[in-house]
Amino acid sequence: GNSVTQMEGPVTLSEEAFLTINCTYTATGYPSLFWYVQYPGEGLQLLLKATKADDKGSNKGFEATYRKETTSFHLEKGSVQVSDSAVYFCALSERHELNKFYFGSGTKLNVKP
């Protein structure tokens, strides 16, 4: 079956530090991969996405590359800001399942000034 595993949080970093949040997946077909972000008190927002192997999704300085050989989609940012403090969810979906999403457990990021 399909599943997503992401690193446990919370992750605490100082401003301008490098960020990596690991995400690996198990899928029966050829999924699309996503990172969603949830800021305090808000719903989930799409951060970036990749639909096929070797695609790189990027947005707001965040990047993630769809690695089929390692079944991974790690989220990275070169220099985090206090405003990046949020919960980050990795997810996958397969179109033949009419976009049923499989979410990871979420990783809380705290960035200190």
Partner 1 sequence: DSGVTQTPKHLITATGQRVTLRCSPRSGDLSVYWYQQSLDQGLQFLIQYYNGEERAKGNILERFSAQQFPDLHSELNLSSLELGDSALYFCASSDSHKKSSYNEQFFGPGTRLTVL
Which residues sit at the interface with partner 1, rule CB under 8 A? Answer: 32, 34, 36, 42-46, 49, 51-52, 89, 93, 95, 97-103, 105-106
With respect to partner 1, which residue has the nearer C-beta, 79 or 105?
105
Which three-class secondary structure state does DSSP give residue 43? Answer: coil
Q: Are 63 and 48 in contact (CB under 8 A)?
A: yes
With respect to partner 1, which residue has the nearer C-beta, 1 or 113?
1
d(Cα 5, Cα 14) in Å, to the nearest integer?
25
Specify the DSSP element, H or E, that contains 55.
none
Taking the complex as a whole, the smallest distance from the CB of residue 84 to partner 1 amounts, in Å, to 19
